Chains A and B, each alone.
Chain A
Amino acid sequence: MSFAALEGCKKEDFVKSNTNPETLYTIDPENEFLNVATQIHGQDFEAYYDYYRRIMPWMQMNTAQAGNSKTLVTDVGNFNSRYGILFPTLGAQVADLNHLIDLMPEAQQAGYVYMRAIADIPKIYYSFYVSDINGSIPFTEAFLARYGGTTTPKYETQQELFGLFDTRLKEIVTTLKTSQTATQVSLGSHDLYFGGEVSNWIKAANALRLRIALRLTKRDETTAKTIITDVLSDANQMASNADGWVFRARYSFATNGSNWDITTFRAPRPTVDFMIKNADPRIRNFYEKNNYTQANLETAIAKGVYPAGTKWNSQQYVGATTSPDSALGKYKNWFATKTVPDVTPALVLDTISYLKRRMWTPDYNSGTGTNTMPVITYADYCFMRAEIAARGYSTSGGSAEQWYNAGIEASIAFFDDAAKKAVTEDYTAVTADEVTAYKNSADVKFNASKALEQIAVQSFLNFYKQPNEAWALYKRTGMPNSSTALANENIVIDGAVKAIPRRAALSLPATTDPNYANKQAALDAMAADADFGSGPTDLFGRVWWDKK
């Protein structure tokens, strides 16, 4: 009877009920490109662990509030966020951009030649960044499971990867330089780096090739040289800070009340001392002055915290010792604060400077400035060129000294601009005189016999917001170290000089991991090189490029 009516209901009604009206069946491919940039830069967990608490203290770019601890070089919990940033999300976004283009009619696809090419640049950059401390990773077969590809991609060795990266980047440059018959769809505002400007991407790709090639110098100088020569034969090179590959974000992107918070990290003494000695104008953009103002000292004297007649030290940039033994020993009292009693608002005098908070989180103390997150800046490019010239890989287009000085100028201008955009609390524009004086200061003035060291020191300073590059520089050149002009301390723990970690502690795949065979094979292949270390988790071991 009535149930016949029930049973008679057509399946279409059920299907309709289970079809989500909110689902969009397609989007424009450039939308995925917007996601790529935010995926690369919007990583607070990486900032918290990988940068603030691992690489930066290892590289003496900051120290913990009470000084570095004895576990400085052994604590690696939650390190290597980048792997999980690339796999699966970032790669999937680029793969989907390509897939969306693939779905278009052929005639329409012709308008997306540039977009496809550009999209691969950040993908290669990030894959390189992941491989940089992980060694082998999947690349060719990665990210395709959604489109019928393998669910268990095989790994490529770092040697293979560097080759693949370079070949593809070169191809991209060629593509982008070739004018297309079809009008190219611009990434436009979905390109948060360059607003879709193709010429900038060509320069960025070239700069990235140089960065990869320089990593290669330690392991395979010949190939490196070939690549460098090839890159420099192209006319499209970065020429000013405007060409820099930089992500700029509103203050709300990385906020102080979150894992981005850098407020408790101290300025490192080696860098601070070098900057003071040579009157580096960037010091005010890198670090906060301590609160030993003359007025505060006078208050403290009045309250009996200091004896009458205590002389004010006008140098309010004070760095923290970076070695745990000194922080816990000789310099321990530097970290102690002094509370001035019975004043309102309360006053706690603190000797050591902090990192410039608004440079990292512009919303610090109600700021509304812009955050600057560099990938490859023009200054980076200049220092690469300086090194290339100094090492004699290529001498065309300028001398080491020219590039070195250009790098210093670009770097100072870059951080001046970044501080201005971040609206740092005591922003003061850099003057030309300051720059000139700095370039002529004792440790900075170009000295051909110390060129590589000087380039390394300036690169190191310039990597203020690129801890991974500072780390790579150190692994590649051994500089800065305790005998360079910017004399980093030896990391001494319980009287012994400690080595600095050189790569990620790689996790052992679970036997139940669907991709176990490939992962294990990749680890076994890396372990075949004695430099790889005592096992996958040995962070003092090395990846392929970081040859002993």
Chain B
Amino acid sequence: MKKTMRLMLLMLLCMGSMYAFGQSKRTVSGTVKDSTGNGLPGVSVALKGGKTLSVSDPQGNFKVSVPVDGGTLVFTSIGYNTQEAEIGSKEFISISMLSSSSTLNEVVVTGFGARASTRKLTYSVAQVKGDEVARAGTTNIVNSLQGKVAGVMINQGAGGPSSSSRIRIRGNASFSGNTMPLFVVDGVLIQPNASGADSWGDGRDFGNALKNLNPDDYESITVLKGSAASAIYGSQGLNGVILITTKKGRQRKGLGVVVSQQTNIDKAYKLPDFQNEYGGGYDPFFKSQDAQGYDIVDPDNGPYYSFGPKLDGHMVHDADGRIVPYKANNLLDLFRTGHTYNTSVALEGGSDRTTFRFSYSNLNNNSVMENNYFKRNTFTLRATQKLGSFITVDANATYVNSNTLNPILQGGNSNPLFRFAYSNSRNYDIDYYKNHYIDSVNGGSIGGNGNPTGNPYTRNSMTSVFWNYYQNKTYQKEENLRSGIDVTATITPWLSLLVRGNYNNLTTTQTTQNRGQSKGYLGSSASYSQALTTNSYYRLQALLTGTKQIGNNLDLNLTFGGETQRGLGGKSNTVGTANGLKIADIFTLSNSVDPLTSSGYTTGNERLDALYLYGDISWKDMLTLSFSGRNDWSSTLTYPNGSGKYTYFYPSVGAAWTFSEMLKENKSFGFLSYGKLRASLGYTGKGTNIFTTSTGLGYSLNGNYTNVDGSLIPRYGLSSLVLGNQNLKNLLAREFEVGTELKFLNGRLGIDFTWYKKNTTNEVIQLSATPESGLSGRIINSGNLQNQGIEVLLTGTPVRSKNFQWNTTFNFTRNRNKVIDIDAKDGINTYSLDLAFGADVSSVAAVGKQFGTITTGYAYARETDKSSKNFGQKLLKQNGTYWRSGDYGQGSQDLGSMMENFLLSNTNDFSYKNFNLFVQVDAKVGGMMASATHQYGSEYGSFKSTLYGRDAAHGGVQFVDENGVTRNDGVIPEGVFGANTVINGTDVSGMTYADAVAKGLSKPMKAADYYEGIASWGTGIREYSVFENSWVSLREVSLGYNIPKKFTDKIKFQSLRVSLVARNFLYLYNSAKDNINPESIFASRPGAFAEYGGLPFIRTYGFMINAGL
């Protein structure tokens, strides 16, 4: 801290001396802004009739020397109308530039919050306006970007409103467990975590830091991809940067008040394709009747399997003894209508020297799940102030508190959707049992430990779903303070200094109250725990920027800067009750049966320092050469013994050529309104994770061992069995990118095309090792991971008339994420990324294959002898179930990659007078997913696909079963018997099952047996439930209406807008088997590819009103 103070002092000292220097002349300073109130860079400032004096800096500030008697300043910039301003006796001039053409003046936020004309950019960049994001009304800002930007892939989180979504820019540039881009909000760096469930899908997803971002406050969002991002943001920008600029106050008379209110309604509108034709049982007929003549639902299988009799609604004697209509349940009954209310009030104002904006937003979401809410309060203040003639201060502070209760258990046995597919028949009476799972006499759940039940519908596995749903509560509260201050000093007409400091603090408190399921609401399931995690860091940055026009044709921008980022350390502490609570329903630590369990650790304080130089030189606003060089010092590459090569340098170069400038006088190119070519080459260096260099070093406390008598012994052991590496070096990525931007017909048709290739080398990863050597893994600098792809953005304005305009865009993204090398020298060519179904299926990075190749030893075993007539046939065991590849000696089989082939989206913006209609359709084509719901739901006959073979109408074969019953639910499995299969003395190896049936050796399988075989935990083929995940979604339809001025004037409003929106409206196409929800992947980790229940399909309707006073 002391060192930091010294550094600050030093910086202030520098500024002080400059001030003295500034006083010696008659200078005028000022700001050039665009119509949105943001600074405009690169605007020439000249004295009328004279030569250019200065060019505005990246924040739009300028400073010029003028004659003491004043004069007139002329501001010029391509794409803007020239503006003039009388100097008079002013020391400060604020000017707004109006655009002259919509095609040439695009200015985007790039680097460190600076703004640049797109003409000068040597790389592809995309900007999304804040109101486009706010319009979507999603609680998670990431979801609102879906389909909006080429090169960006988004998977919505499957765990309700708080859950994190996966966002991936230009593929995965790293093998690590998190390839999400860096988010930068007004200079505050936020690296979102991947979150979600483990490989059983069992977990509540409280999401990541992004849920504390409030889109209402955002002016714009810029997506920096590839080296464009990392050239400036360095290693943290390896996976791209999402740059968010908050709104500023504007210069205006009086106080502006903007109020907006949005109400969203979430409807769970659809489930995967559950079948509603057959009910509980294993055989499609009733086996007995009770004394009153009611058919009895088979008590052994009826509650679990849905291979029973046809559901025809007649009254039956259910397995629980109740007389009920025999009909299918509707799981949607368990979900309510969700509501989100988001109310924002913003106050803003400003003079020529001061602006401020204060906003408060309150978001209150009650999701479609009972007992699940997400609430957020956001307070944001942003203020700017000009001090004297050359210092500008821009300060911001955001305080957010969010509160989440019970995100859905995304998978596993307590996820309702999974659990109702798995081992609960279609006639399970949800409406009844959701109110009859508590043992009201004894306390606890019916079927809970100590509450035995003979009713199979209230066995513990089922009631625990309701228990988790209604009785257990986990709260997570987060408090996030993000603040920053930028001090800009315009030292000389061409030189400015920006000093920036940020501070970010996140405190998370999680409280769990689990009600006891055993008798008296007690037992070991009763628990209470508190977890507190804090983390904070600061960042201090200084940038010295020179902007100079050399002669009349050359513009030079050069920035020299440096920063330090330092973690301030954080703690994570958990304390909880052990072995139950003494008194039921009292959730305090003192109520613990056994001594409290606790754990705690420090999160560490990583440090990164950097120095950089970057800039560009432009000739005639036509040709720009850009360059950057950055050197980092990363604590993560140092070793506790003081060694380690912890510093690394990486450069970039680029060029942009607006060739249309040369053609503009040429009539034959009149159709071309804008044309630019660009190319860039950039490198990115990166350290590794904190403490990775200490991997394998030392010991840790691994909880306690509980002795027979309940006493505890602390368990100490090796912190890991991984072999460390004393010579780790930095990651280095190299990206080459070329592209073009073309605009035709006065900008009505545009194309932006990019091709890129990025190779990441030397990433520090942990590989598995030979277990016999006593190691579970070792740390290495890995080989080479490549991403190569194209991005195409087509924009068009098919109709542009006085009252009606139609703008349309197409975004196309294709990325190939190929593994070139992992550890060739040691012969390792596979790296495990993620797991599903426990460890049955995994996604791996394998050399020569796509990232995220899905592989399993539970694939079909197939005949591999190419000379055999059975080549490629699935192999059967004697009983008609399939051989698993692993059990048959064929090992793991690759089933394809989870990565999509391409993404395509289309947005349409129609405006007619005061109406505005927006329609977005987006599509993902290709890529596989795994579904545990499909697998285990198939085992129990819950899904439509299992209707096949149930009866003659569904392809069932007639046969006589072992009890002499003639039935027509026979299935002849496809495939041939494996080697050495003997049935009743006959060797049937290589024979098809159909032949064996024809020869009387086998019987057709009962449909139930067939699905049990192909999809059960013990014998199932996981390949059966790994399938293509392609979809086309009608993502958003919104209609807005600006109330006419003459009406708003009457009610003394400055503006009034109402809009309606529908989000995630419909899947126009879904390739998933049985219509499994394609957006239900249970984690946002890069390799995650599986669902385990998730939520039903949910669509959102919203109504929004915005009023300016």
Contact = CB atoms under 8 A, between A and B. Distances in A.
A143 B291 CA distance: 69
A231 B567 CA distance: 63
B1058 interface: no
A155 B702 CA distance: 32
B879 A70 contact: yes
B717 A31 contact: yes
Interface of B: 3, 6-7, 10-11, 14, 290-291, 296, 299-300, 317, 319-321, 449-450, 452-456, 518-519, 523-524, 542, 562-564, 566-567, 579, 601-602, 604-607, 609, 611, 633-640, 642, 644, 646, 690-691, 693-694, 696-701, 705-710, 713, 715-719, 721, 723, 769-776, 826-830, 877-879, 881, 884, 886-887, 889, 891, 962, 982-985, 1018-1019
A6 B611 contact: yes
A365 B450 contact: yes
A22 B828 CA distance: 32
Counting chain A CB atoms within 10 Å of each CB, which of B567, B879, B1019 scores highest? B879
Contacts of B579: 252
B321 A74 contact: no
A88 B718 CA distance: 12
Interface in A1-57: 1-3, 5-7, 9, 11-15, 17-28, 31-32, 34-35, 38, 53
Contacts of B1019: 71, 75
Contacts of B607: 13-14, 17
Contacts, number: 282
A339 interface: yes
23 contacts: A3-B562, A20-B691, A27-B717, A35-B715, A77-B884, A92-B775, A138-B772, A143-B774, A146-B723, A146-B774, A151-B770, A153-B772, A190-B713, A250-B707, A250-B710, A342-B290, A346-B321, A366-B449, A366-B523, A514-B770, A514-B826, A514-B828, A515-B772
Interface string A337-375: 101011111111000000000000001011000100000
A15 B698 contact: no
Contact of B606 (A17, A346, A508): A17
Given A6-B609, A17-B606, A88-B775, A24 B699 contact: yes
Contacts of A510: 891
Nearest to A498: B982
A143 B721 CA distance: 10
The 7 residue pairs across chains A and B that have the minimum distance between CB atoms: A346-B454, A143-B774, A145-B773, A23-B698, A87-B771, A17-B635, A14-B635
Given A5-B7, A88-B776, A512-B829, A151 B769 contact: yes
A3 B542 contact: yes
A150 interface: yes
Given A248-B708, A366-B450, A76 B887 contact: yes
A18 B887 contact: no
A6 B543 CA distance: 13
A71 B881 contact: yes
A87 B770 CA distance: 9
A84 interface: yes
A91 interface: yes
A337 B454 CA distance: 13
A253 B633 CA distance: 47
Contact of B708 (A14, A88, A250, A341): A250
B708 A5 contact: no
A304 interface: yes
Contact of A92 (B637, B718, B887): B718
Given A249-B708, A515-B770, A346 B320 contact: yes
Contacts of B11: 2
Contact of A27 (B453, B716, B877): B716
Contacts of A514: 769-770, 826-828
A96 B696 CA distance: 12
Given A23-B697, A249-B708, A87 B772 contact: yes
A186 interface: no
Nearest to A138: B772
A18 B638 contact: yes
Interface in A218-274: 248-250, 252-253
Contact of A18 (B317, B693, B706): B693
A481 interface: no
A337 to B, nearest CB: 6
A403 to B, nearest CB: 30
A397 interface: no
Contacts of B609: 6-7, 9
A154 to B, nearest CB: 9
Given A23-B700, A34-B715, A348 B877 contact: no
A399 interface: no
B300 A17 contact: no
Given A23-B697, A24-B701, A93-B717, A15 B772 contact: no
A293 to B, nearest CB: 14
A535 interface: yes
Contact of B299 (A12, A71, A91, A337): A337
B299 A23 contact: no
Contacts of B707: 189, 250
Interface string A399-442: 00000000000000000000000000000000000000000000
Contacts of B290: 341-342
A76 B601 CA distance: 42
Contact of A11 (B642, B772, B887): B642
A14 B562 contact: no
A186 to B, nearest CB: 14
A163 interface: no
